Structure 1
Amino acid sequence: MLRIAQDALTFDDVLLVPAHSTVLPNTADLRTRLTRDIHLNIPIVSAAMDTVTEADLAIALAQEGGIGFIHKNMSIEAQAAQVRKVKKFESGVVSDPVTVRPDMSIAEVRELTLQNGFAGYPVVSAEGELAGIITGRDVRFVQDMSKLVHEVMTEKSRLVTVKVGASRDQVEALMQQHRIEKVLVVGSSGQLTGMISAKDFQKAESKPNACKDEQGRLRVGAAVGAAPGNEARIQALVDAGLDVLLIDSSHGHSEGVLQRIRETRKAFPNLPIIGGNVATAAGALALAEAGVSAVKVGIGPGSICTTRIVTGCGVPQISAVANAVAALKELDIPVIADGGIRFSGDIAKALAAGANCVMMGSMFAGTEESPGEIELYQGRSFKSYRGMGSLGAMSKGSSDRYFQSDNAADKMVPEGIEGRVPYKGMLKAIIHQQMGGLRSAMGLTGSATIDDLRTKAEFVKISGAGIQESHVHDVTITKEAPNYRLG
């Protein structure tokens, strides 16, 4: 007799039931939790994939209210640098600004500017005393690159500074009065404690929904594998300012992964840690007992993932999410639904199944901010997209995610493919469409908040004819909609 655990459902097997509603889509509250302590303004996180998330996409997504996870297919130094790039993009008060010495050359300052992406640096002596500031204006027309910083900088006596704790209004008034873009923050004894940039004020005003930490910096996550020897990588990421760590594996309900989570939790008791992936209630509970702050659910639902076909293992995503959520209800540990999202309606279904947020890869692959070059094929623009279980990705460093240690391509057993997706333009346009669809779903189900959607919305199970009826039918599409693409 077959040991059938349950009948399982995925996105196309169900629809949400419309209900009486007093909720207008534009009044729906999209705020949710990533972990107990980290809140998102939209229920979206990006996948830690090498064709999806590096600093540029993480910045763009955090500005819209979500969070991105930097992939691990790079050196420790490179991944830490990606995290730092996000954390320094919009800093509020930069508490540890990059500084230069008075005896550095302009050529060295130019090199720093190319490396960091900004041109203003406080000048600090070898003894740590503030000597002045050098900005892009100071070096823009310098021809002699061997000139030293102290020859062109604005000296300390001419600097505009504020004391620790100065209000934003005070800082803006000083900037306007003196027509400057940067103000240095000094302590009671005159030592440099931080720097404030006008550009950060402008960024904050233009993106009020951004996901930020307590210091006004954009939030960012990063992924590491579960194989032994990741201690140095984790420490480097924490030192770079990481907000949340993802210990990522194709099978999170594995003793090796659980032990790695226990060790990391012991070493970093206050660090938010996400563990995954699992597809069962038992797997979710095991991760919770190991010490995770959130559980990531999804084995094989992704568009580029072949795990279910290669291994014959997996659980359809709606059932997997619902089972994990039910198991973790008393523990109050958030659940992330990872994979299988094709339309905004799938986001609504994943949340209604109990997930706190969704992780997406294919939705963001092909955006301007995703890694990789735009390719032209048969007159259309594309970008590469591959699974972290593909041969190409595993040979770059993700093989431990699939418990494979032999780096020879002919020895690997891939659980993903390499492909391409149409170029989609800016990420903010994708977010606008997806969140617009989610808002409409919340209006239709009478859900004022994400928690309402998670706990009150009801499903109906549908047939194959039902999903066929739901899609466009009996017509030829002549103009593609921005939120509806097939294939």
Structure 2
Amino acid sequence: MKILPEISRTLSEYLLIPGLTTEDCTPDTVDLGTALVRHRIGEESGVRIATPLVSAIMQAVSSPELAVALAQVGGLAFIHQNQPVEEQAADVRAVKRHKAGFRTIEVTVGPDTPLGEVARQLSATEQGVAVVTRSGDTEGAFLGIISLDDFHLERHGAHESAGSRMRGRAGLVTAPVTASLSEANELIWEHHLDVLPVLDGDRVASLVLKRDYQAHKTYHRASVDGEKRLRVGAGINSRDFKDRVPALVEAGADVLCLDSSDGYSVYQAKTLEFVRETYGDAVSVGAGNVVDGRAFRYLADAGAAFVKVGIGGGAICTTRAQKGIGRGQASALLDVVEARDAYARETGVHVPLCCDGGLLNDSHMAMALAMGADFIMLGRYFARLDESPSPKVQIDGQWYKEYWGEGSQRAQNAARYGQGGRMVFEEGVDGFVPYAGSLYDNVERTRAKLTSTMISCGSTNLRDFHRDAVLVPVSAESFKQTGAEVQLRRPTADH
């Protein structure tokens, strides 16, 4: 038995001391970009994100819809692994089908396909246009395009053929596969087009839509891969990884992450070894969770692409109460950051740290980044939003979103906690969180707060923020001083 000579501290127990704000410290110059996976010092990480936020590997959080939205604003989502392999791979593919400007073909039909079937497929995939090919598949010779604007079932009949209402290839403006996105958009605006087929010989390689032009301008921070597809991560486990990893890699997942409340395990090392032996450096796998430098070093030596820090600090997690395991998030982070920096000095390799849990508000995120976290994983934060998959319910006139932990009975994730296939006890709860609206609005607000904090501390990027930040522990009395009750003014009708 060993007792550490410290008090386990949370992120709430620290404040930042302002630094010198220079003329260079403006919102336009602050860069929140960060490395997501390990890289040699002085070299670029293979995966970077412009917004240092990722979503938790949870059923109540990481749907394809949320993954698309989060990638558009510069973050990254991890599709949860508490589902069959084929369903998780399908979720990953759904996100990867979104390409910045160039869209993969969602619906392909033949010239004899009935209009009723065309309408059904367009509705099922939420697409506005289908490609018509001679064979009816994506490899077939291009004949034309058809959209819901080209027919009306009551007027033309559900049994009439797609070929009778399609816009034929001869009358369409097209672009070669070598065209850049700028060139494609020029053609769209010059010829007043809604859709531009991009051709590779007789085959349609992709589509460029006019409606995507503004989205491309709006989401200039989007997390995209080399083919301009949105990036997405996926959770894995240390049990069925030999089946799950290949399926997720084939589906296009940009990064994987072992999903466990306690990552200091030979099973995680064996999983990392399998991926390294099978794929080399081509596939990146994060690991965790850990709360001290020993566990970090173990996973870093095993090849983890990044390491998640935090046990028992999540709003939905009851691991500390059930098992007595955990550590205050600030104490855990400071210990692991020290080990991470020592590892970098010894090996020349930077292994990013993900702060997972113990983050109740935006100021806690700033504190975690100042302490040395490279990015932040959030569950409750994203569960509150429109894009999360959980239902929205009204309770006593107030709107909420359902939220449950992966260690709860509702998740039925017994294998994640080594309970032999059935839930003997829970390490998470099932409840509700106040509904908070759009992901786009909330992430933009969080970015603004983080930017403002960094400006006050005299930093314009996260690396400098970590190096130069000055923090001070605070007493309970410090918070009482700012906690005096004030009756807030209600907005008037004019406001």
TM-score where L is the length of structure 1: 0.90
**Counterpart contact for 1:92–1:215, Cα < 8 Å:** no
Task: Give the corresponding residue for 2:171.
Answer: 158
Letter in 1 for 2:160: K
SS at match of 1:218: coil
Task: Give the corresponding residue for 1:238.
Answer: 249
**Counterpart contact for 1:31–1:449, Cα < 8 Å:** yes
Whether 2:101 is the aligned partner of 1:99: answer no
Whether 2:235 is the aligned partner of 1:226: answer no
**Counterpart contact for 2:224–2:231, Cα < 8 Å:** yes
Whether 2:19 is the aligned partner of 1:4: answer no
Task: Give the corresponding residue for 2:129.
Answer: 120
Quick one: distance in 2 between partners of 1:479 and 1:355?
A: 38
For residues 433-482 of structure 1, the C-alpha deviation after alignment (integer angstroms, 9 at most, x for no partner) is: 2222211211121111111111210211122212333x4324244569xx
Quick one: distance in 1 between partners of 2:359 and 2:72?
A: 21
Task: Give the corresponding residue for 2:48.
Answer: 39
Letter in 2 for 1:191: R
Shift of 1:26: 5.1
Quick one: distance in 1 between partners of 2:32 and 2:149?
A: 42
1:195-234 aligned at under 5 Å gives the runs 195-227=207-239, 229-234=240-245
SS at match of 1:65: coil
Task: Give the corresponding residue for 2:41.
Answer: none
Q: Among residues 46, 71, 86, which one is paired with 2:80 in the alignment?
A: 71
- Distance 1:441-1:68 versus aligned 2 partners, 3 A rule: same
Task: Give the corresponding residue for 1:186.
Answer: 199
Q: Among residues 41, 59, 66, which one is paired with 1:50 in the alignment?
A: 59
Letter in 2 for 1:267: T
Letter in 1 for 2:175: V
Quick one: distance in 2 between partners of 1:341 and 1:27?
A: 26
**Counterpart contact for 1:344–1:435, Cα < 8 Å:** no
**Counterpart contact for 1:90–1:203, Cα < 8 Å:** no
- Gaps of at least 5 residues in structure 2 are 38-44
1:376-391 aligned at under 5 Å gives the runs 376-391=394-409
Task: Give the corresponding residue for 1:267.
Answer: 278
**Counterpart contact for 1:298–1:338, Cα < 8 Å:** yes
For residues 154-200 of structure 1, the C-alpha deviation after alignment (integer angstroms, 9 at most, x for no partner) is: 2222232211222334322322343322222223x433333222222
Quick one: distance in 2 between partners of 1:271 and 1:479?
A: 53
Task: Give the corresponding residue for 1:371.
Answer: 389
Whether 2:415 is the aligned partner of 1:406: answer no
Letter in 1 for 2:79: I
**Among the aligned pairs, what percent are the same residue?**
34
**Counterpart contact for 1:249–1:257, Cα < 8 Å:** no
Quick one: distance in 2 between partners of 1:88 and 1:368?
A: 21
Quick one: distance in 2 between partners of 1:427 and 1:392?
A: 25
Q: Among residues 295, 299, 304, which one is paired with 1:283 in the alignment?
A: 295
SS at match of 2:442: helix
- Distance 1:86-1:140 versus aligned 2 partners, 3 A rule: farther
- Distance 1:84-1:206 versus aligned 2 partners, 3 A rule: same
1:331-346 aligned at under 5 Å gives the runs 331-346=349-364
Task: Give the corresponding residue for 1:170.
Answer: 183
Shift of 1:140: 4.2
- Distance 1:128-1:429 versus aligned 2 partners, 3 A rule: closer
Shift of 1:302: 0.4
Letter in 2 for 1:167: S
Letter in 1 for 2:172: L
Between 381-390 and 430-439, the greater mean CA deviation after superposition? 430-439
SS at match of 1:89: coil
Whether 2:63 is the aligned partner of 1:61: answer no
Shift of 1:103: 3.1
Aligned residues: 471
Shift of 1:358: 0.6
Quick one: distance in 1 between partners of 2:152 and 2:463?
A: 52
**Counterpart contact for 1:56–1:369, Cα < 8 Å:** yes
For residues 34-74 of structure 1, the C-alpha deviation after alignment (integer angstroms, 9 at most, x for no partner) is: 12211111111111211122112222211211111122233
SS at match of 1:62: helix
Whether 2:365 is the aligned partner of 1:347: answer yes
SS at match of 1:259: helix
Letter in 2 for 1:248: D
For residues 221-261 of structure 1, the C-alpha deviation after alignment (integer angstroms, 9 at most, x for no partner) is: 1212222x233333332222211111211111111122122
Q: Among residues 157, 162, 180, which one is paired with 1:144 in the alignment?
A: 157
RMSD: 2.2
Shift of 1:151: 2.4
Task: Give the corresponding residue for 1:484.
Answer: none
Task: Give the corresponding residue for 1:109.
Answer: 118
Whether 2:278 is the aligned partner of 1:292: answer no
Q: Among residues 431, 455, 458, which one is paired with 1:446 in the alignment?
A: 458
Whether 2:470 is the aligned partner of 1:458: answer yes
- Gaps of at least 5 residues in structure 1 are 481-487
Task: Give the corresponding residue for 1:485.
Answer: none
Letter in 2 for 1:48: I
Between 419-428 and 178-187, the greater mean CA deviation after superposition? 178-187
Between 308-317 and 117-126, the greater mean CA deviation after superposition? 117-126
Between 99-108 and 420-429, the greater mean CA deviation after superposition? 99-108
